[in-house]
Structure 1
Amino acid sequence: MQRLRRQQRVLYAALFFSMMIGLLLIRLGHIQLFRSSRLAAEAVRQRAQAVILNYNRGDVLDRSGISLLGGKEEKVLVVFPALMAKGDAEAVEIVSHFIPQAAMPGTPFIALRGVEPHEEELFKNLVIPGLVVTEARRRYGADALATHVTGHTGASDGEGKVGLELVFNRELKGASPTMLAAVIDGKKNLIGGLGYRLWESREQHQPYDLVLTIDYNIQQKVEEIMDSRVARGAVVVMDPHNGDILAMASRPNYLQARLPLYLSGGEEYKDYLSAQPFINRSILSYPPGSVFKIVVAAAALDTGKAWLSQKYYCPGFIQVGDKTFSCQHGPHGEVTLAQAFAHSCNSVFIELALSLGKETIYRYATAMGLGMETGLPLGSAAQGGEVKGMVPLPEEILFLGDLALAAIGQGRVEATPLQVARLTAVAANGGYLVEPRLVKALQSRQGLQVKRFPPGTRKKILSPVTVSKLRYMMLGVVEYGTGQAAFSRVLLLGGKTGTAQTSRFLNGKPRTYSWFTGCVPLEESRAVITVFVEEPLQGNAAETFKHLAQAIYPFLI
């Protein structure tokens, strides 16, 4: 009996070990058949030094599919410092003279971009291990447009840091970067048969391209004109009917490709950085000055509190409580409402605001889109995105002097150039507040649309009669008022000037902000243009508006 039990135990043990051996063989077979290449690649990676050539992100395109980033394929020189030490000492010293980092121990890096054919031949003739010329894609070119809109990625991680690159980081992001690797042994020699390898992702995930409402040609014209006329400021061009942003630019500009140089701490960039070139002034808020008189005029006309031919008298100032407000271009004497608007008469519009009351001013200002974000996907204010501006609540206006300041776009009233463009669109499209749109669609790299962003809502806020009167007054601004610099012999233009005083100084003088916003053309408008000038290079905002209108109009028809 005991002998039988021993035989059973031996049999069970033999079966158990047979099963274990079988499972082990199956596992080894699975590894050999299905995972050997992956494990071999992993082993290679552990003996490799690699440099990222391309993060494989999606592109940012204009409404016709033209890239706004200006990226292109180029030849680059990659340096592997660990391998260079194995080269001829004299040749290594020559290279190190031009590329000091090459002589220092460290990880591989891209030493030179845009390598020309004769330079490539020179590097090949040096016969130094660790110097490799290969192809890579530069994400941002020198001709990139709308940089404050598209934003930029981090140089070290390829992640979106600001603008659309940040907000749509997940959609634009590639599966994994393309890398150039040197496979080396323990003595820092290239392994024969392996050497330099290009590692590319085999994952199925592909990034999407972002299609914007921006028009490449209009954006290009806007930036060209700004470069010659505006040192600091912003321009927004918008379709008043559907809210599409056709151009958006801010100055000073910056080139994404040069970002590491800007941030290197070099003395040559100190003055440049003091001008805050990375902020998007199109979506920052400033005192709108007399541009706010569009709101006061709309409220007065729409409520029937005033009419175009109504007479006023301007002695050059108006007394409100213990405060005196002067007219910059006064005294104007006897003027109609239309003339007061054209000449930007402070005393008349303060009188109008006082008669309308703070509740009515607040209601029309917010109805026309002031004091709130427009919703463009450019990130939060904390991320360098859109701010909501400011319209003081009725209960915050404690004194009549506060209401007087608000009436002329001073005090606590602030608006972004984008909000002013949206406000202007109400006069251009028949009285509708439109929702601005910047992104049209996400599409695959093959051009197939995967998600569409339709135009936003339109809300009726002004009567057609009020809108017609507003446009009539905007014409007067250009024909005989404060905006005569915007007069064009080839286009019928209309708009409103604005000058806002600030507490800041420039060259020892108080700095003023200059605005002009208007319709192109005035009748049957195809675009509205808002110009904000913090510091001019030449001319004023009205003159810049005229140059912009004439330059972009061929692309609107």
Structure 2
Amino acid sequence: MTSQKYRHWAARYTLWCGVFFLVLLVGRLFYLQIIRHSHYDFLADGIRSRIITAIAPRGMIYDRYGVVLAESKLVYSLDLLPYQIENQRYVLNFLRRIRIDVSAVERRLNNKDYLPHELLNVKRVLEPWQIAYIEENKQALDGVIISTRIVRHYPHNNEAAHVLGYVGQIGSAELSQLRNYGYQMGDIIGLAGVERYYDSYLRGVDGGQPLEVDTYGNPVRNLQTLEPVPGHDLYLTIDFALQQAAGRALGNRKGAVVIVRPDTGEVLALVSRPDYNPNYFTDFLSEKEWQELRANEHPLYNRALGAYPPGSTFKIVTLLAALEDKIDTAKTFFCEAQMFVNGRRFACWLAGGHGAQDLLQGFVNSCNIVFYNLGLLLTPQKIADAAAAFGLGTATNIDLPFENNGFVPTERWKKRRYGQEWFPGDSLNLAIGQGYLLTTPLQMALLTAALANDQNKLQKPYVLNKVVSAEGKTVVQNKPETVNLLPFTQPNIDLTRRLLREVVDDGTGSNAKIPGLVIRGKTGTAENIGKDHAWFVSYGPYAKPDLALAVFVEEGGFGGTVAARIAREIYAWYDAREKGDRL
């Protein structure tokens, strides 16, 4: 190839290469500018804009009569905008003088651990006098910003804490389950009680203030504001005044009181002790608040939904199982305060014994010897079936989280769980509400309510009456739901009701008796590793009962002495209110 031809070929090759790369460049520009325009425009908007989120206020929570139980409260917080601070030392010293801890934000400022546009929170809730002091000196406090935010507030502090629950920042576990429902890291959600159960109704839709920023991230101008949408309001079945009365009656004792309407299953009061102040969780816990929580014994645990041996209150179930099995009610048993089965001693609670007792007397006097014998006469399955008719051993499905199912043992379960046969001693323990048997105070209140209503129906419990939108529209309206109709014959149910009246009038529940009122109930003293638990389940205070309640006192001792008196105080308060007496 001559040098002239070579130069000609090289020129053509260079030209075509140039054309090729030019086409490639134009094609790439066309792809970026035309085809992918919307994508990169979106990214550019993200780079030059920031959104300051406006948190939507959570819905209000009211009791059945409109008493405010939880609300969203406006508070003032203190933030720093680093790029505006001219004299950092002066600003921090000023804040120290008004008793504001700046150690954490000082470290971030010194380490430049922040974005240019980021607001650094110093104090989440300012005192009024601190706000006034800052406002008086704001000319010298560049970069110091007082902003407003909404926090959850419980005006009655500890009252109804285990019903209401509390709120806090979403955790990683909750986020992994709720991310697909619009939840994000940093969201405030319900963590217990109805705050948790009905969080999807209570939380609103956050708004925001988009800001256009410069290349350094500094705000330039505001864009169109997105207004937050408040959450829905909840109206509960709780009677707050009755809730307070039940709490006063229980006092500082560990335990629970559950009160339901017999005909509907509405929960009128649910008290658990020890309790806590849900306001502590709306912000960072102070050292004093943390120590107060630690001083109590598991205050976050809802004992109304916890499982415990029911003791002699379970004799209601054993009695009905015996009556349905046609065991002769006139059959006499002799109580010498103890009996022996296979060499093992089983005692009655009355040290001297009850002497000769028939089935009905044994129930009124809560004689263990009578019911030990019933345990031997009945099969364990018949007692378990009677318990199942009242919903024992399964969750009630109340609209509160963390409910315990309770437990009713059977021969088949014991064989599968322990590889052992069912012993006579197991039957004796089951008949008096001991052994493996566990029930919750809520379950026992519902058991009593099933006997209290004139249709013999077991109702599903609920604490939500209705959900109402911010515009006043009813979104959800709860209605009573019957879970089961008691399968016992009417004469046997009527006899049981009569005996429950005799327990209060002349038997172990006499401490609950109030002249002129009609109260039916059953005491229980459940054996425990430490001191015995005290129970009293009942309904009243009229011939057509308004209330069915369960009182449980952890390590409270004898049910007829402790728990019955608590019930008496509640009934007396309720009757006084119904009669219009000044409380």
**TM-score under structure 2 normalisation?**
0.76
1:282-317 deviation per Cα after TM superposition (whole angstroms, max 9, x unaligned):
11111111111111112223443143x654321111
- 1:13: which partner in 2? none
Where do residues 304-383 of structure 1 align in structure 2 (5 Å cutoff)?
304-307=326-329, 311-329=332-350, 330-379=352-401
Contact 1:230 1:537 in 2 (8 A): no
C-alpha distance in structure 1 between counterparts of 2:120 and 2:284, whole Å: 23
Is 2:543 aligned against 1:513?
Answer: no
- 1:126: which partner in 2? 137
- 1:440: which partner in 2? 465
The alpha carbon displacement at 1:483 in A equals 2.2
C-alpha distance in structure 1 between counterparts of 2:195 and 2:293, whole Å: 27
- 2:106: which partner in 1? 104
Mark the CA change 1:278 to 1:537 in structure 2 (over 3 Å): closer, same or farther: farther
Amino acid at match of 1:96: R
1:80-100 deviation per Cα after TM superposition (whole angstroms, max 9, x unaligned):
263685357445313135222
Is 2:545 aligned against 1:549?
Answer: no
Mark the CA change 1:337 to 1:126 in structure 2 (over 3 Å): closer, same or farther: farther
Contact 1:471 1:522 in 2 (8 A): no
- 2:179: which partner in 1? none
1:501-535 deviation per Cα after TM superposition (whole angstroms, max 9, x unaligned):
222xxxxxx23211111102252111111111115
- Select between 280-289 and 451-460 the one with higher mean Cα deviation: 451-460
Contact 1:518 1:528 in 2 (8 A): yes
The alpha carbon displacement at 1:446 in A equals 2.0
Where do residues 526-537 of structure 1 align in structure 2 (5 Å cutoff)?
526-535=546-555
Match of 2:481 among 456, 467, 487: 456
Contact 2:260 2:266 in 1 (8 A): yes
C-alpha distance in structure 2 between counterparts of 1:528 and 1:200, whole Å: 52
C-alpha distance in structure 2 between counterparts of 1:183 and 1:63, whole Å: 47
Mark the CA change 1:341 to 1:53 in structure 2 (over 3 Å): closer, same or farther: farther
Amino acid at match of 2:168: G
Mark the CA change 1:263 to 1:366 in structure 2 (over 3 Å): closer, same or farther: farther
User: Partner of 2:429: helix, strand, or coil?
Assistant: helix
The alpha carbon displacement at 1:192 in A equals 8.2
Match of 2:245 among 218, 221, 229: 221
- 1:45: which partner in 2? 50
Mark the CA change 1:86 to 1:273 in structure 2 (over 3 Å): closer, same or farther: farther
Match of 2:188 among 143, 158, 163: 158
Amino acid at match of 1:370: L
Number of equivalent positions: 513
C-alpha distance in structure 2 between counterparts of 1:142 and 1:64, whole Å: 16
User: Partner of 1:154: helix, strand, or coil?
Assistant: strand
C-alpha distance in structure 1 between counterparts of 2:518 and 2:431, whole Å: 28
1:201-244 deviation per Cα after TM superposition (whole angstroms, max 9, x unaligned):
437x6532233222222223223333xx2432111110111111
Contact 1:77 1:131 in 2 (8 A): no
Match of 2:201 among 171, 174, 179: 171
Where do residues 120-519 of structure 1 align in structure 2 (5 Å cutoff)?
120-127=131-138, 128-144=141-157, 145-155=159-169, 156-176=186-206, 201-202=226-227, 207-226=231-250, 229-259=251-281, 269=291, 272=294, 275-307=297-329, 311-329=332-350, 330-379=352-401, 385-395=402-412, 396=414, 398-430=422-454, 431-457=456-482, 459-461=484-486, 462-489=488-515, 491-503=517-529, 510-519=530-539
Mark the CA change 1:245 to 1:340 in structure 2 (over 3 Å): closer, same or farther: same
- Select between 158-167 and 232-241 the one with higher mean Cα deviation: 158-167
Amino acid at match of 2:349: Q
C-alpha distance in structure 2 between counterparts of 1:337 and 1:83, whole Å: 84
Unaligned runs of 5+ residues in structure 2 are: 1-25, 109-118, 170-185, 415-420
Contact 2:211 2:221 in 1 (8 A): no
C-alpha distance in structure 1 between counterparts of 2:126 and 2:160, whole Å: 23
Contact 1:82 1:105 in 2 (8 A): no
- 1:4: which partner in 2? none
C-alpha distance in structure 2 between counterparts of 1:151 and 1:192, whole Å: 42
C-alpha distance in structure 1 between counterparts of 2:225 and 2:340, whole Å: 73
C-alpha distance in structure 2 between counterparts of 1:218 and 1:72, whole Å: 24
User: Partner of 2:131: helix, strand, or coil?
Assistant: helix
The alpha carbon displacement at 1:494 in A equals 2.2
The alpha carbon displacement at 1:146 in A equals 2.4
Contact 1:218 1:555 in 2 (8 A): no
Contact 1:517 1:530 in 2 (8 A): yes
Instruction: Give me the identity figure in percent.
Output: 28
Contact 1:312 1:348 in 2 (8 A): yes
The alpha carbon displacement at 1:554 in A equals 5.3
The alpha carbon displacement at 1:427 in A equals 1.7
Mark the CA change 1:101 to 1:257 in structure 2 (over 3 Å): closer, same or farther: farther
Amino acid at match of 1:480: D
C-alpha distance in structure 2 between counterparts of 1:556 and 1:87, whole Å: 66
Amino acid at match of 2:440: T
Amino acid at match of 1:253: D
C-alpha distance in structure 1 between counterparts of 2:564 and 2:358, whole Å: 23
User: Partner of 2:517: helix, strand, or coil?
Assistant: coil
Unaligned runs of 5+ residues in structure 1 are: 1-16, 380-384, 504-509
Is 2:34 aligned against 1:62?
Answer: no
C-alpha distance in structure 1 between counterparts of 2:555 and 2:54, whole Å: 40
The alpha carbon displacement at 1:544 in A equals 1.1
Amino acid at match of 2:554: E
- Select between 353-362 and 59-68 the one with higher mean Cα deviation: 59-68
C-alpha distance in structure 1 between counterparts of 2:247 and 2:86, whole Å: 50
